[in-house]
Amino acid sequence: MAEVLDHEFDGIQEYDNPIPTWLGALFVITIVWGIGYALYYPSLPNFSGFSGWSAEQQYDAQMETEEARYAPLREEAEEKALEALASLSEDQATVQAGREVYTFYCAACHGDNAEGKVGPSLTDEEWLYGNEPKDILTSIREGRPKGMPQWKSQLKDDEIKSVAVYVMSLTRNPGEGQ
């Protein structure tokens, strides 16, 4: 029988019983497993673990997989959007809306008739960054070195598209900007 300890509380006596063997073994196994986990995976400061695994590498690999999976769909959607944008250059309401936005934001640098002032002319055929719909949209959204600002934070997407449509109509009809 287990030894009774020499203290009591509220009439309750405490026996000195050892913990069950299975509980002690589980405790030791848990400690060994924790140490092994800490050494195998990067769980300690300034130690990358023996496995070489990292969340950043896993994320990069997953993003590459997703990019490869969705790239054809994204390219197809972008082509359709650019075709739709090119066809809008025939729509006079969109061209007029683009002209209004152009007059307010772009005319200071490119001139009222897109003839070029500080910025280059938008009515000729030779453009430094290209005059295809994708190039025009990129120039407006992202800006270009040597003075072309980014407009994506100041203009709504439909305003950017309408300006692009207006600029595309200028290259097809050079006299229209006047």
Supply 33's token pair: 């497993």
Residues of the chain with pLDDT > 70: what percent?
96
Distance CA 95, CA 89 (A): 6
pLDDT band at 178 (very low <50, low <70, confident <90, very high): very low
pLDDT band at 21 (very low <50, low <70, confident <90, very high): very high
Q: Is the pLDDT of residue 175 over 60?
A: no
Q: Which residue has the higher pLDDT, 60 or 93?
A: 60
Burial class (CB in 10 A: 0-12, 13-18, 19+), 74: exposed
Q: How many CB atoms neighbour CB 133 within 10 A?
A: 21
pLDDT level of residue 177 (50, 70, 90 thresholds): very low
More confident residue, 75 or 20: 20
List, for residues 121-153, the tens digit of each pLDDT value: 888 878 888 878 888 888 898 998 888 899 888
Packing angle of the helix pair 157-172, 55-88 (nearest 10 deg): 50
Residue 31: what pLDDT?
98
What is the model's pLDDT at position 57?
A: 92
Retrieve residue 10's tokens.
């509220």
Structural domains for the chain = 4-53 (no CATH), 80-177 (1.10.760.10)
Over residues 77-130, the pLDDT tens digits come to 888 877 777 777 778 888 888 899 999 999 888 888 888 888 888 888 788 888
For helices 133-142 and 55-88, the axis angle rounded to 10 degrees is 120
